[in-house]
Amino acid sequence: MTQRRPLVEALLKFQQQQPVSFHVPGHKNGLLSTLPDAIRPALAYDVTELEGLDDLHHPEEAIREAQELLAEAYGTEESFFLVNGSTAGNLAMIYAVCEPGDRIIVQRNCHKSIFHALELAAAVPVFLTPTWDEETMTAAGLEALQVEQALQQYPDAKAVVLTSPNYYGVVQAELEAIIALSHQYEVPVLVDEAHGAHLRIGGPFPASALVHGADVVVHSAHKTLPAMTMGSFLHVQGEMVKPEQLTKYLRMLQSSSPSYLLMASLDDARAYLHTYTQADHRSFEEKRRLFLEGLSAIPKLTVVESDDPLKLMLRVERWSGFQLKEQLEAEGIYPELADAYQVLLVLPLLKSGQSFPFAEIRSRIKDAVKALASKPRTEWLAAPFQKEMMSEPEYTFREVSSAGCEWVPWTKAAGRVSAGAVIPYPPGIPLIVPGEVWSTEKLALLMDNLAFGASIQGEHRLKEKLLKVMKR
């Protein structure tokens, strides 16, 4: 373990010199800022690439050491700070493995940044539909057999792209087998593990994809570690993906003026994980156990656990998650998200000696659940779910873009090629992506999802009953 924070230490040392700013940024160490007093002092550390502070895009000093410690913490060959979020990492790893026209096997419920990367890189996706997890009522992972069939059918595939864990903390049940299988076919595995930056500490947490041999893994350090929003990590190991390729694209895709506050928070988050002890594990597990016991005693409230102990789902039968979220927020409790069934809580990754107001939170949750009794009930339905297990768009992203698009009434969309993604949430699996054809079955599923109360993400104008399609 190491408590060193090279970049944090470099920033502190720099400010001890009481430097006078004749450089960017224009707030001049906060002097010209009119932000509230509670925020402005932090601007003294919002600097640029000055002597002793290194350069993210050509690290030789503090940032280089901080990234080396990051690789040590995660057991990888090379790791990188990301200041443009996990989105930048997802884009970089796709660009690093393919050329325009190359096929990539993709888990269909991946993050929208993966779809953007595929479009920007002009790759040809082969989509695999994940299984449905009845416990958490979410899209889970792929089966090894699905991946093997895809690798056999598309032997020219340049990568397999997975998402694990999902937003709700569900880890791919056959992750290790899928990675091993892909490597047998000499295909690298790229994992968007945005919600699993903390998994590396072990203990009650499931194993990271890095432990199972994934070639490239992206982490949102800001989701479960104490990093600032947009702060993420990218890791590479093995021989299949070259670190130089990732570095090349990170220089293109990330800001040339990275935030030193953000990078310092990444250095700090790495140190937080790096120094997580068995005593910390025991303390966290005990606090969590007591909180769950308290929640389980609240009448009508159901607590659902997932693979990741940091994630909890709260349900009140016959009331939607949206209704519960509204009542919780009225009590000052802000969950991560709500869906038709439940709200999702992301617990703090506490260390020994740290506290969180769990008793007060439980009391407020109890009041919120009680207040639901005065609200109209909703009928829970089975989530409309796409059964197509493997598919390839009939037109490429580039063909769709070059043809142009138009908006048509959804009653006239059958047989037309979609020019936008339509993503029911839950379960978060795209019903259609650009280049796929609207069938009567897909349109019926869209109607079912709307009736079910799902939030529909993507490019559409459903309030006007219009869908975006490719011009004929």
What's the pLDDT at 12?
97
CA gyration radius, the chain? 24
Predicted confidence (pLDDT) per residue in 207-241, tens digit: 999 999 999 999 999 999 999 999 999 999 999 99
Predicted confidence (pLDDT) per residue in 50-94, tens digit: 999 999 999 999 999 999 999 999 999 999 999 999 999 999 999
What's the pLDDT at 119?
92
What's the pLDDT at 429?
81
- Measured at the CA of 174, the angle between CA 392 and CA 194, to 5 degrees, comes to 75
What's the pLDDT at 351?
98
294-300 — which CB contacts under 8 Å span 24+ positions? Answer: 294/358, 294/359, 294/362, 295/362, 295/365, 298/362, 298/365, 298/366, 298/369, 299/369, 300/369, 300/372
What's the pLDDT at 455?
83
DSSP state of 240: S
Give the E-state strand segments of 281-357 in sequence order: 301-305, 311-316, 337-338, 343-346
DSSP state of 206: P
Question: Would the pLDDT of 2 be above 90?
Answer: no
Of 65-79, 83-97, 279-293, 447-461, the one with minimum mean pLDDT is 447-461
| Pick from 152, 195, 143: nearest CA to 307 | 195
Question: Would the pLDDT of 387 be above 80?
Answer: no
Q: What is the mean pLDDT of the chain?
A: 94
DSSP string, 355-392: ---HHHHHHHHHHHHHHGGGSPP----PPP-----EE-
Of 43-47, 227-231, 380-384, 427-431, the one with minimum mean pLDDT is 380-384
Average pLDDT over residues 355-360: 96
Q: Could you give the C-alpha distances from 350 to 79, 226, 276, 281, 283, in angstroms and in order?
A: 25, 10, 10, 8, 8
Give the E-state strand segments of 58-98 in sequence order: 78-82
What's the pLDDT at 208?
98
| Pick from 200, 120, 132, 209: nearest CA to 427 | 132
What's the pLDDT at 453?
73
